[in-house]
Amino acid sequence: MPADYQGLAANGLKGLKGACWYTRTLALNILRRGLILGRYTLACWQKQKVNKAMRRLGEQFFQALEQGETNPLVVSAVSDAVKKAKDLKEAKDKNYQAVAATREKIRAAWVQEPPPPPPAPETPPAPAEPTEAAEKPEEPAAS
């Protein structure tokens, strides 16, 4: 009898380990999804900054053309605006790469599945129901 209780306790611990693994993985992935949301918010803000920098670049480019510059890209204001726009684009791309890496971590976390649940104890097969012929004894023939 004590062996049955030990087996039951061992099976309960396996189930508890699986539940703890699942809970920990779920909590980590929720935090990772929050990080993704923050990164996307940052990327949207950076995209607005890139668009603003591109507008300024266009304005400075046309101002340089209006001033009679043959190659407006050599003007210091235009080249600075180009450099700033490139830097902002690189920062935005780094955020998208970080989001992709975080998504990969989330996918990898679910690959390691928890240990399978313990097999259910087998119950002995139920005895077959007797047939009617076996219930009724044969009556002797009366002559």
pLDDT number for residue 8: 59
Please tell me what DSSP assigns to residue 116: P
Residue 60: the pLDDT is 86
Has residue 1 got a pLDDT over 50?
Answer: no
Would the pLDDT of 137 be above 70? Answer: no
Tally Cβ neighbours within 10 Å of residue 97. 11
Question: Does residue 6 surpass a pLDDT of 90?
Answer: no
Per-residue pLDDT at 115 exceeds 60: no
Token code pair at residue 30 = 């929720």
Higher pLDDT, 128 or 29: 29
Q: Give CA–CA dist 31/24, Å, rounded.
A: 11
What is the predicted pLDDT for the residue at 135?
Answer: 57
Question: Cα Rg for the chain, rounded, in angstroms?
Answer: 37
Q: Is the pTM of this model over 0.85?
A: no
Helix axes 76-111, 2-66, angle to 10 degrees: 170
pLDDT the model gives residue 34 = 93
Mean pLDDT of the chain: 79
pLDDT in tens, 43-70: 899 889 989 988 988 888 888 888 888 8
Angstrom distances, CA of residue 103 to CA of 32, 45, 100, 122: 8, 21, 5, 42
Buried residues in 15-44 as b, exposed as e (16+ CB within 10 A): eeebeeeeeebeeebeeeeeebeebeeebe
- CA 58 to chain CA centroid, Å, is 41
